[in-house]
Amino acid sequence: MCHGRIARVFGSVLHGLDTDNSDLDILIDSTPETTLFDIGAIRHKLGQLLGVPVDVLSPNALPDGFRATVLAEARSV
């Protein structure tokens, strides 16, 4: 079981600027039970299902100067 909630898309896919080399950026709000293994499992499973590279991050993993922008633009899936 993977611990995470509220999946949101951000980055080039959200803005329609993705290319064949782009990955899908997903923001997952972690729970107190979320581990790095959970994040890795979500990344792996989504990559398998969608057939594209996926980057899964939590808000706390984002650099301070980038976090506010991502949180403002991210859209729920």
55 within a domain of the structure (yes/no): yes
Which pLDDT does position 45 carry in this prediction?
Answer: 94
C-alpha angle 41-20-46 in degrees, rounded to nearest 5: 15
Band the pLDDT of 3: cuts 50, 70, 90. Answer: low
pLDDT averaged over the chain? 91
2 within a domain of the structure (yes/no): no
Mean pLDDT (whole number) for 56-61: 92
CATH number, domain of 11, equals: 3.30.460.10
Whole-number CA gyration radius for the chain = 12
User: Do the bridges between strand 5-10 and strand 24-29 make them parallel or antiparallel, or are there none, so unpaired?
Assistant: antiparallel
1 within a domain of the structure (yes/no): no
Mean pLDDT (whole number) for 23-35: 91
Domain count, the chain: 1
Dihedral angle sign, alpha carbons of residues 76, 58, 42, 25? positive
52 within a domain of the structure (yes/no): yes
> What's the domain range around 24?
7-76
Specify the pTM. 0.86
